[in-house]
Chains A and B, each alone.
Chain A
Amino acid sequence: MNHFLTIEGLSADDLNGLLDDADEFVDVLHRPIPKVPALRGKTVATMFFEPSTRTKMSFEKAAKALSADTMSFSPGTSSLSKGESLKDTVLTIKAMGTDAMVVRHKATGAPWRIAEWIEQPVLNAGDGAHQHPTQALLDALTIRQHFGTLEGLKIGIIGDIRHSRVARSDIQAFSTLGAEVTMVAPRTLLPVDPAVFAAAASENLDEVLEDFDVLYVLRVQAERGGASVFPSLSEYTDRYGITTERFARLSPEAIVLHPGPMNRGVEIEGAVADDPRALILDQVFNGVAVRMAVLFRLLGGESSE
């Protein structure tokens, strides 16, 4: 593995291998001193061309727990605002000396371009509405911890799938690991061609709700409002919101996941988000472990000098 850009093309063995490693890092993170020297002397640059707090902090925590040094880049205060090209920015930071770049960019494919320009590993921390592969790993890890396997589970992904990199990576990871995935959204928020995904599609949540072992609730992206993708937030909540009423109709074993940040009262009611069967904070914790697993996989092979 030279880079970690996408879930597409990874096998069940590949994914389970990474999740197995992540399980070990979960143990590390539970130790009194949650740190190993695996990447001592390595430097990881976090380059978030699109603002993000949680994913960036999670990667930084993961790098530090492996004893790597980190440096970070934020577009608002950088030379990007002075018109520097993406390539020049990347080559500049490479010249400072970094062993890996963690990239978030709102343009689809940006991490692939960067991987053409530098020889160091590139980790995709989210590109456009395309891929967010470490999110898929942390989601899969959370589900696997709870049920032991994803094989045979029925997973509903509810919400703005069309504009969601989380959904694209999750559908590929969950279906590869043997789950039966259903995308639930109004047609304007489903992929234009749903057939390209290994998942069923439904526009009616109430018809399919009770089948699900896992309810994966996507964030309603308020910034999409201008695109007229649905008539109003209240209509969305009526038809697709995870209310306490809908939550009560689920099987008692079913769990709820959300990638955050949540819009309480829109796609998920506050009481559901706070229920013990909503594993949203477990997801956040697992995020650090899976990112340690990926960083270790990419950088741990060579000895540091």
Chain B
Amino acid sequence: MSDLILTGGTVLTSNGLEETDIRIRDGLIAEIGPGLDGDETIDCRGAWVGPGLVDLHVHLREPGQEWKEDIESGSRAAAAGGYTAVFAMPNTDPATDSGHIARYVSARGAEVGLVEVLPVGAITKGRGGKELAHLDELWSAGVRVFSDDGDVVADAGLLRQAMDYLAGRGGVISQHAVDEGLSSGGYMHEGSVSSLLGMYGIPSAADDVILARDIRLVEMTGARYHVQHLSTATGVELIAAAKAKGLPVTAEVTPHHLAFDHTAAQTTDPVYKMMPPLRSEGDRAALRRGIEDGTVDIVGTDHAPHAVHEKEVPWEHAPNGVLGLEWAAAVVNTFTDLDQFGFYDRLSVAPARIGQVDGQGVLPAVGGAANLAVFDPTSEWTPSTTVSKSENSPYFGLPLRGKVIATIYRGRATARDGIPVS
């Protein structure tokens, strides 16, 4: 295999930022230094070079809902967006609640070979919220992150059992925090927009009360806990307080909660419908501050493909969720003031650490795995297409700043300028 050279990029290494070249050979970083040449080069001048992005929260829809997305199309979208590892949520059909389904997901990911696909295991059987899933089996299949995502683990007693069971070995509970009594019947953030539209709302408190409860359970069990798609200002405060106490708690924000607030929902265009809903401008500002100062650890896309015909309905009838993988990096760069260190921390290093995946989220170093994302932070563009099977992107027509110009996975370019390389 011939050498691949990344030339002239600003490389984020453990020594800081260096404007230099990288030689990639046999899947590894062979050399870092100026003046390198080889058969194939990628011009990285003016761009950031850092570890490939890691997404702790995607829906690849396989097995069972392949009309929305599959592991191949989802991998293409991930590669296009700069990702080299994605964690696939278990709300598939059947749910990833046993070892053989988890093994299928990672094996299919390896077969496609564009990105490392890591299965997230269900906490309860069939994500039914009644009894624990085959946690040992999942663990043996390599699962480190557990979630009933799409649904909350509502029963505090059952959640406590899962926490106790996983705490000793360091498994992570990833919670979709929403109180079903408070959210029941709601379709969007409860506030001025829902009042104007006469739509049932989901109050911010629906998320906050579960997060507050769960933090108390973390205190009790010592389990590692990750709250998904934080959407409220109070949630950011709760996380800050839990971290101040030294609890093993981490938090995630989605790109769409950084880019939009509930006024986008005023159009009743279902492309803006998701759970948790887009909330107030104050919530959005708190989330931005949270991701900037690190209170919120990571950006997770909650990439949630839905077919055109599923979203082409009135708001109330549309499924929740939006695409995200292809634009997350640009959205973070556009709507936060994170520098190169912060950008790769929130999008790569921290999610890899939480997800406990080797060879990902590691700063470029000689001898290390060549999983890299090259990002031009100044390029201005307006998304209008996707490589996903679905088209439910809220970013079409939205001017963004910054573009992934190359993704390197195991030494091979898997995408160039947003186009996957097959």
Binding stretch for chain A, among B311-319, B366-374, B400-408: B311-319
Chain A min CB distance to B159 (Å): 27
Which listed residue (A108, A191, A192, A196) contacts B314, Cβ 8 A? Answer: A108
Chain A min CB distance to B282 (Å): 13
**Once bound together, how far apart are the Cα atoms of A165 and B197, in whole Å?**
9
Contacts of B269 in A (CB 8 A): 109
Is B196's CB under 8 angstroms from A107's CB?
no
Q: Judge whether A113 is part of the interface by a CB distance below 8 angstroms.
A: yes
Count, chain A residues at interface, CB 8 A? 26
Q: Judge whether A86 is part of the interface by a CB distance below 8 angstroms.
A: yes
**Once bound together, how far apart are the Cα atoms of A129 and B195, in whole Å?**
10
User: What does the 1/0 interface line of A139-150 toward B look like (CB < 8 Å)?
Assistant: 000000000000
Is B195's CB under 8 angstroms from A194's CB?
yes
Query: Which B-chain residue is minimally distant from A87 (CB atoms)?
Result: B312
Contacts of A113 in B (CB 8 A): 268, 312-314
User: What does the 1/0 interface line of A61-93 toward B look like (CB < 8 Å)?
Assistant: 000000000000000000000000111000000
Contacts of B192 in A (CB 8 A): 193, 195-196
Q: Judge whether B199 is part of the interface by a CB distance below 8 angstroms.
A: yes
Chain A min CB distance to B50 (Å): 41
Is A108's CB under 8 angstroms from B312's CB?
no
Chain B min CB distance to A268 (Å): 22
Is A168's CB under 8 angstroms from B268's CB?
no
User: What's the A-B contact tally at a CB cutoff of 8 Å?
Assistant: 69
Chain A min CB distance to B316 (Å): 4
Is B195's CB under 8 angstroms from A193's CB?
yes
User: What does the 1/0 interface line of B255-291 toward A look like (CB < 8 Å)?
Assistant: 0000000000001110000000000000000000000
User: What does the 1/0 interface line of B180-198 toward A look like (CB < 8 Å)?
Assistant: 0000010000111011111
Is B199's CB under 8 angstroms from A128's CB?
yes
User: What does the 1/0 interface line of A83-117 toward B look like (CB < 8 Å)?
Assistant: 00111000000000000000001011110110000
Residues A107 and B190 in contact in the complex (CB < 8 Å), given A128-B198, A164-B198, A191-B195: no
Chain B min CB distance to A173 (Å): 15
**Once bound together, how far apart are the Cα atoms of A128 and B196, in whole Å?**
12
Residues A193 and B191 in contact in the complex (CB < 8 Å), given A85-B313, A113-B313: yes
Is A192's CB under 8 angstroms from B313's CB?
no
Chain A min CB distance to B189 (Å): 10
Query: Which A-chain residue is minimally distant from B198 (CB atoms)?
Result: A129
Chain A min CB distance to B392 (Å): 14
Query: Which A-chain residue is minimally distant from B308 (CB atoms)?
Result: A87
Which residues 179-215 in A have Cβ within 8 Å of B in the complex? 191-197
Chain A min CB distance to B301 (Å): 26
Is A107's CB under 8 angstroms from B317's CB?
yes
Contacts of A105 in B (CB 8 A): 314
Chain B min CB distance to A213 (Å): 26
Q: Judge whether B245 is part of the interface by a CB distance below 8 angstroms.
A: no
Count, chain B residues at interface, CB 8 A? 21
User: What does the 1/0 interface line of B296-315 toward A look like (CB < 8 Å)?
Assistant: 00000000000001001111
Which residues 9-45 in A have Cβ within 8 Å of B in the complex? none
Is A192's CB under 8 angstroms from B195's CB?
yes
Chain A min CB distance to B317 (Å): 6
Q: Judge whether A297 is part of the interface by a CB distance below 8 angstroms.
A: no
Q: Judge whether B420 is part of the interface by a CB distance below 8 angstroms.
A: no
Contacts of A165 in B (CB 8 A): 198
Chain B min CB distance to A163 (Å): 7
Contacts of B267 in A (CB 8 A): 109, 112
Is B199's CB under 8 angstroms from A108's CB?
yes
Is B190's CB under 8 angstroms from A109's CB?
no
Which residues 113-145 in A have Cβ within 8 Å of B in the complex? 113, 128-130
Residues A108 and B316 in contact in the complex (CB < 8 Å), given A85-B309, A129-B198: yes
Is A162's CB under 8 angstroms from B198's CB?
yes
Query: Which B-chain residue is minimally distant from A107 (CB atoms)?
Result: B314
Q: Judge whether B411 is part of the interface by a CB distance below 8 angstroms.
A: no
Scoring B196, B201, B309 by chain A CB atoms within 10 A of each residue's CB, the highest score goes to B196
Contacts of A193 in B (CB 8 A): 191-192, 194-195
**Once bound together, how far apart are the Cα atoms of A87 and B317, in whole Å?**
13
Contacts of B185 in A (CB 8 A): 227
Chain B min CB distance to A23 (Å): 30
Which listed residue (A86, A128, A168) contacts B313, Cβ 8 A? Answer: A86
Contacts of A107 in B (CB 8 A): 313-317
Which listed residue (B199, B268, B312) contacts A129, Cβ 8 A? Answer: B199
**Once bound together, how far apart are the Cα atoms of A273 and B306, in whole Å?**
50
Contacts of A168 in B (CB 8 A): 196, 198
**Once bound together, how far apart are the Cα atoms of A116 and B105, in whole Å?**
39
Residues A128 and B195 in contact in the complex (CB < 8 Å), given A109-B268, A112-B268: no
Is B196's CB under 8 angstroms from A109's CB?
no
Contacts of B197 in A (CB 8 A): 108-109, 128-130
Which listed residue (B190, B191, B198, B309) contacts A163, Cβ 8 A? Answer: B198
Contacts of A110 in B (CB 8 A): 314
On B, residues with C-beta under 8 Å from A are 185, 190-192, 194-199, 201, 267-269, 309, 312-317
Instruction: Give 16 A-B contacts (CB < 8 Å), ordered by A residue.
Output: A87-B313, A108-B198, A109-B197, A109-B314, A109-B315, A112-B268, A129-B198, A130-B198, A130-B199, A163-B198, A168-B198, A192-B190, A193-B191, A194-B195, A196-B195, A197-B196
Query: What are the 3 tightest A-B residue pairs by CB atom distance, in nearest-first order?
Result: A109-B268, A129-B198, A107-B314
Sample of 16 further A-B pairs with CB below 8 A, known A112-B268, A165-B198: A86-B313, A87-B309, A107-B314, A108-B314, A109-B267, A129-B197, A130-B199, A163-B198, A168-B198, A192-B190, A192-B194, A192-B195, A194-B195, A196-B195, A197-B195, A197-B196
